[in-house]
Amino acid sequence: MTHHPTIIPVPVPQGLSPRCSEATCAVVSNTPVNGEYRLLVLDAPETVLDCHPGQFFQLLCPAPKGEHPFLRRPMSIYGYDKRAGRLEFLYKVAGAGTRGLATLAPGDPLNVLGPLGQGFSMPDDWQHIMLVARGVGLATLAPLARMAYERGRKLTAICSARRAELAMSVDLFESYGAEVIVVHDEDGSSTPEALRPLIEDRIAKRRVDAFYTCGSSRLLRLLQELGAAHGIPGEIAMEQQMACGLGMCQACVRSFRVGERIIQRRVCREGPVFPISEAI
């Protein structure tokens, strides 16, 4: 007999619609942004552009020569513009699905399903927010930075990468008025030990009301420790392999700590955004 995990649902945040749509979009451009990442820009209909920062899409990737991707690939939203009809994804070529994406040329069709999941929130008392992320996790936070700018929030973005030239979204964050700090592995500035005093200095100056993160377990643990020590809340966009992306298959179930309990939630449906304090 098969035992399925008990799923504890969370309410849909006010203002977010659980509806999604399927659409075939046309590729506008698909270009490298550095030695590892590519930016895919799509001409998309309004039906899939009712998006919120932190949500994602399921992409029906084309099959590269000799390979046959079976499932759609989940991809966080890098940018969206309903008025211009644009939808953007920043991705790293890592497997059959993303190798297929890299073959797309302007004018090619791409079938997308979304927007999916629950996105970031930004309560009124979070006036000074800090983004701390690494690699493609910074792409997930790009729409959040735009939302912070539009709401008049003060923003600090710590961008971590293996090398300084691989740090993502630096110019974009700066265009939203953020204080941008680039840290990387080559000089050791990206370690939790190096980041802790940097972040604590800004906490002491009352420049951090909330943390947002994505893409690194080490950064998550650091922010959990700092959040607990200084009473600072925050949110994380979780990364997880998915199948359906709709909550039916339960392939993306993860454990979360809520008070004294360990509960199970689906990253695609109850997330992908969760309170930092609850993530394991």
pLDDT at 273 exceeding the cut of 50: yes
* 214 is annotated as contributing to ligand binding: no
Beta bridge partners of 111: 24, 60
* 98 is annotated as contributing to ligand binding: yes
* 61 is annotated as contributing to ligand binding: no
Q: Answer whether 226's CB lies under 8 Å from 197's CB.
A: no
**Residue 168 in tokens:** 């993502």
| Phi and psi at residue 104, to the nearest 5° | -70, 140
Residues in the chain: 280
pLDDT of residue 213: 97
* 238 is annotated as contributing to ligand binding: no
Q: Is the peptide bond before 272 cis (omega within 30 degrees of 0)?
A: yes
Beta bridge partners of 261: 258
* 268 is annotated as contributing to ligand binding: yes
* 252 is annotated as contributing to ligand binding: yes
Show the domains of the chain with their CATH numbers.
21-116 (2.40.30.10), 128-278 (3.40.50.80)
Integer Cα distance of 128 and 7 in angstroms:
33
Integer Cα distance of 5 and 265 in angstroms:
9
pLDDT at 115 exceeding the cut of 70: yes
Q: Which residues contact 218 (CB under 8 A, 6 or more apart)?
A: 192
Integer Cα distance of 229 and 42 in angstroms:
43
Q: Please choose, from the candidates 96, 164, 153, 109, the residue with its C-alpha nearest in 3D space to the C-alpha of residue 130.
A: 153
Give the β-pairing of 154-161 and 179-184.
Answer: parallel
pLDDT at 269 exceeding the cut of 70: yes
* 244 is annotated as contributing to ligand binding: yes
* 122 is annotated as contributing to ligand binding: no
Residues 198-234: pLDDT tens digits?
999 999 999 999 999 998 899 999 999 999 999 999 9
Residues 4-47: pLDDT tens digits?
444 444 444 433 445 789 999 999 999 998 878 899 999 999 99
DSSP letter (8 states) at residue 120: -
* 97 is annotated as contributing to ligand binding: yes
Mean pLDDT score across all residues of the chain: 91
Residues 187-198: pLDDT tens digits?
999 999 999 999
Neighbours of 146 (CB within 10 A): 18
Reported as a pLDDT band with limits 50, 70 and 90, residue 253 is very high
Helix (H) or strand (E) holding 172: helix 170-175
